Amino acid sequence: MNRVAGLVVAAVLVGGFGIGAWMYFEGYFGTGDRDTESVPVVEPLPEPIRQRPEDPGGYQADSRGSALLEGTEPDAGPEQLLPSFEEPVARPRVEPAEPPPEAVPDAEAAAAQDVAEEPAAQEAAEEPAAAAEERPKLPEPRHPRSAWKASVQLLAIRSRDRAVVEAQRLLAAHPDVFGNLDFRVREFKVSEQERVQRLQAGPFETRKDAGEVCNRLEKRGVPCFVAKGQ
């Protein structure tokens, strides 16, 4: 009984599947006539899709360079050649200017040799006594040589006598500055044939003290700079 019922159910299912398949294929893939007139036909528009605007706008450039774009070269006139290279000219040799006959610019050089000061008594012994008395002399020193830890240099000149005269003039013009200082003239060897005389005033304990005095002198128009002591 159960077997027969199973066969009946299977037959019903197979029949239903077959009927459904027939209806599907008959409705969509059959050969029956169809209504094609109701199907819409898509056609292009009669007017152009892209049209040039009446006012395109944008930046209107000039016609510069249009000749190059058209494939023709603009008329640039006659060809201009670059000038040829100039021949090198020998540089004229400039002879170094000689310093003034009296004043000599002073320069602190590491290789310069500082000649020791010659005592005035030794110079006087080499010349006649009458000429030695006429030569100008520095004021008598009041400080020992060991006290010269710093000094101010006032000028450098070839003539020792003129350096002494300048020291006398500075002492008379600025007694408040040089009243408690000593003057000395030190010979400086510039070369084997040339020597200058340095006029210095001091002594000072430090270079700072010498710099303060030098600043006072420069405000009065007296050039100077801080120099070595001994």
SS3 call for 1 = coil
CATH number for the domain including 154?
A: 3.30.70.1070
pLDDT on residue 62: 66
The answer to whether 189 touches 198, Cβ cutoff 8 Å, is: no
* Cα dihedral value 58, 62, 64, 67, nearest 10: 90
Tokens coding 176: 């408040």
Is the entire prediction scored with pTM above 0.85?
A: no
Residue 183 lies in a domain: yes
Number of domains comprising the chain = 1
The distance of Cα 15 from the centroid of its chain, to the nearest Å, equals 103
Average confidence (pLDDT) over 58-72: 61
The answer to whether 157 touches 102, Cβ cutoff 8 Å, is: yes
| Domain membership of residue 158 as a residue range | 115-128+146-228
**pLDDT tens, 120-152?**
444 444 555 555 567 888 888 889 988 999 999
Tokens coding 7: 């066969």
CA angle, 37 then 39 then 40, to 5°: 110
pLDDT on residue 101: 52
pLDDT on residue 57: 77
pLDDT on residue 35: 66
Query: From CA 152, how far away is CA 204, in angstroms rounded?
Result: 9
Residue 107 lies in a domain: no
